[in-house]
Amino acid sequence: MMKHNRGYKSVKVFIILFLIISIVLPLFALILNIHPDDFVKIISSPQFQPMVLNSLLTTTIATCISTSLAFLLAWCIHRSHIRYKSFFSILLILPMFIPSISHGTGLLLLLGDNGFLTNIFGINVHLYGYIGIILGSILYSFPVAFLMLINILRYEDYTTYEAAQVLGLSKFQQFKAITLPYMTKPLIAVIFAVFTMIITDYGVPLVVGGKVLTLPVYMYREVIGLLDFSKGTIIGLMLLIPAFVAFIFDVITSDVIHSSTVVKLYKAPINKKRDCLSYILCILMSICICAPLFLFLYLSFVKQYPIDMSFSLDNIKKAFQLGMGVYLESSLVVALLTSFIGVGITYITAFITSRSKHSFSNLALHLISMISLAIPGIVLGLCYVFFFKGSFIYGSVMILILVNITHFFASPYLLAFNSLSKFHRNLEDVSSTLGISKLRMLWDIYIPSTKETIIEMFSYMFVNAMVTISAVSFLANFRNLPLSLLIPQFDSQSLIEATAFISIVILIVNVGMKGMIYFLKKIYSRNI
């Protein structure tokens, strides 16, 4: 029994050391590399105030529009009798499977000065600047907000609505008395999540921002362009503020948000006008969301946009000649290793924190595991530059895997934590009495019982590792460059068709992975 306990403690020590090295120490390294003089220079510079206002203005407007549209579409799909709900849901989340910078490029190709729709209709929306950043940010954040909201609506209990109908409450009164109170706190959490996503993203404003400078773009230019790490660090710390507020709110309200008990699933009443309107909204939004993706697919097979639109494979050949095949291989290696190693570490961490006593070390583990939610990818990448520079992993594939695991740690951890918490609390007492070790319980009981959760964790890490540009942008080099980082490189060289093809390749890989996950879950559900 002593050997079994020793093995469990060794695993716990390893997890603690991993989290300290991958999260805590890099954050301290970031703070220690600030030059106080640079702080004064940034605050007093004439571009600082406009930069902050630009970030806050575009993020606030995009967050409001994105969340409102997501709520409306989630409502249409969940609270109507329209057909093909699954098909519409898939179309509406497709933009999640490409990097954020691709959304800016897609908008440019559609509505730019020489854009596809601009040339057809002759209407110039003057995309560069506020309009471009807001539209691109909506495209980038909408699928995430939609997924979160439709999941929340799925767990609303219908019995309260039945009681309201018996009492004679109108639809508006039911919405005000039942739906709004139920949705308020989850909706605020979604708003915080979307706001954090947008304000820390540099992909969209880098492509369509024009002269409108935002905080993440300034940080990117200072670090990548001018190698001024101190100024980049100061901006990075500023970007931590909204993310940290969102993190605190999420921790405080997490129990409240997920406390609904579903006695009866919601059943929408028959209403032809509502269903007709839902069809119109779903079709229009699906077209708007997927238009850049369809254009990417089209442009991948034209000779030269917009001069020669004849069919050609030249751009695909050019993309491979410029190293796309090697970088795709690098991305797949990073994504697969991130998923395999990341799932193992996050699952074991969740096992320790959910299936052990609430000791100080376990609570500290839980808190550190959640901290990655509050660190934007672009800030985390800078942390790793300071902490790991000069080490044997700096500049290698290993550091890209490590930063991705850390960046996406919290969500898979919470998936596993919630699944493992549902098992009866006395299982550990019974196993201890029978002389069964905790690690044996993990292998024989918990892992087989939570295979579906593990598959979902793998899927989440793989897709995000394929599309991320923020966390790896400061750490990758020409030997291990992920495919997603080729997009800004090709875009700067005006290789529009090659850029479109790369976005489609990333989309195909991620959709293929999601398809495999879907069939694996189906096979698993049949075997239960």
By the 10 Å C-beta count (0-12 exposed, 13-18 middle, 19+ buried), 212 is classed as buried
For residue 253, pLDDT over 80 is answered with no
144: domain range? 47-313
Query: Does the residue 379 lie in any domain?
Result: yes
Q: CB under 8 Å to 449, separation ≥6 — which residues?
A: 423
The tokens of 62 are what? 């995009």
Per-residue pLDDT at 162: 65
Share of the chain above pLDDT 90, in %: 23
Q: Which residue has the higher pLDDT, 259 or 453?
A: 453
Identify the burial level of 396 via C-beta atoms within 10 angstroms of its C-beta, where 0-12 means exposed, 13-18 middle and 19 or more buried: middle
Q: What percent of the chain has pLDDT over 70?
A: 88
Q: Tell me, yes or no, whether 172 and 52 share the same domain.
A: yes
pLDDT at 430: 67
Q: How confident is the model at residue 435 (pLDDT cuts 50, 70, 90)?
A: low
> Which among 288, 313, 338 is the end of a domain?
313
pLDDT per residue as tens digits for the range 360-380: 788 888 888 877 777 878 888
- Mean pLDDT of the 282-297 span: 91
For residue 220, name the pLDDT band (cuts at 50, 70, 90): confident
Choose one of 291, 313, 335: the last residue of a domain: 313
Whether residue 435 contacts residue 1, with contact meaning beta carbons closer than 8 Å, is answered with yes
Domain end residue (candidates: 278, 313, 348): 313
Q: Length of the chain in residues, anyone?
A: 528
Question: Can you give the pLDDT at residue 257?
Answer: 44
Query: Which CATH number covers residue 493?
Result: 1.10.3720.10
Residue 1 binned pLDDT confidence (cut-offs 50, 70, 90): very low
Are 481 and 523 within one domain? Answer: yes
Residue 195 lies in a domain: yes
Within-domain flag for 37? no
Q: Which residues of 217-246 are buried (b: 16+ CB within 10 A; e: fewer)?
A: bbbbbbbeeeeebbbbbbbbbbbbebbeeb
pTM as predicted: 0.82
- Residue-wise DSSP of 209-256: -TT---HHHHHHIIIIIT--HHHHHHHHHHHHHHHHHHHHHHHHHHHH
Backbone phi and psi for residue 310, each to the nearest 5 degrees, phi listed first: -75, 155
E strand or H helix at 386: helix 377-388
Indicate if 214 and 182 belong to the same structural domain.
Answer: yes
- Greater model confidence, 262 or 398: 398
CA–CA separation, 137 and 126 (whole Å): 16
3-class DSSP assignment, residue 302: strand
For the chain, the first-to-last Cα distance in angstroms comes to 32
Cβ pair 470, 376 in contact under 8 A: yes
Instruction: Give me the number of domains the chain comprises.
Output: 2
**Are 468 and 507 part of one and the same domain?**
yes
Residues 403 and 498 in one domain: yes
DSSP secondary structure of 115-159? -HHHHHH------TTHHHHHHHHHHHHHHHHHHHHHHHHHT-BSH
Predicted confidence band of residue 168 (pLDDT cuts 50, 70, 90): confident
